[in-house]
Structure 1
Amino acid sequence: MAPEQVLTPETHDPQEHDDEGYTGPATLTLDGTSVEARVRLLARTEPHDGRVHWFGRVDRNAELSALLGGKAADVRVVTPSGQAQGRIGDVDLWERYRLTGVGTPPFPLDEPPAPDPD
């Protein structure tokens, strides 16, 4: 059995981008107040409307919880590689808020695969 991997600042880049989305730092701005947080986001094109929908959760954050008090709000999400307007709300049992948006997400998307030449 392989030993369990321990993630430390030396072995784990806190800003990750891969085919699955983005995990890392973000600045969330609500009603003119900015909060630094860690987010985990994904994006996909929905076939029902053909638009990109991005979504995910904000890691537990006491400052954000105090600001929102369990309510939803419009939010500006800024990451090191992008920004987008979205909605924050739907707090879970672990005090993680859900982030959602439509359109270009606050992180880069991978290019679609090239069509096969005939």
Structure 2
Amino acid sequence: MTWHGPAWVAGTEVRLHGTGRWEPVDGRYHWAGRIEPEPRLVRLLRSGRREVELRVGDRTVRARLSEVDPWGGVRVTGVGAPPWPVRTDD
């Protein structure tokens, strides 16, 4: 399942593109996404901050900022239920 929409990271509104998968090796759901270019998050990541809270709607999860891509977007990852709505038919 893929998801695209607004989110909040470290108090900053962003646009998130995410996807996830069930990982049979560890039995957990792993999700990842790309946050569209946002200079505040790039500065936050480059200052050494990795662990953040990510909110989509009324759901907040712990996430990890991992890298800045060549276009200025920031990769974010997490384990467990994703922050975006999950359809039951997926």
- TM-score between both structures, scaled by the size of structure 2: 0.86
The amino acid of 1:56's aligned partner reads: G
Alignment partner of 1:26 is 2:7: yes
Paired with 1:71 and 1:95, the residues of 2 have a C-alpha distance of: 16
Structure 2 segments unaligned to the other structure (5+ residues): none
**Please, which runs of 5 or more residues in structure 1 have no aligned partner?**
1-19, 114-118
Root-mean-square deviation (CA, aligned residues, Å) is: 1.9
Q: Equivalent of 1:49, from 16, 19, 26?
A: 26
1 or 2, which has the higher strand percentage? Answer: 2
Cα shift at 1:25:
0.9
What SS class does the counterpart of residue 68 from structure 2 fall into? coil
Aligned residue pairs total 90
Q: TM-score, normalised by structure 1?
A: 0.67
Q: Percent identity?
A: 34
Higher relative contact order (CA 8 A, sep 6+): 2
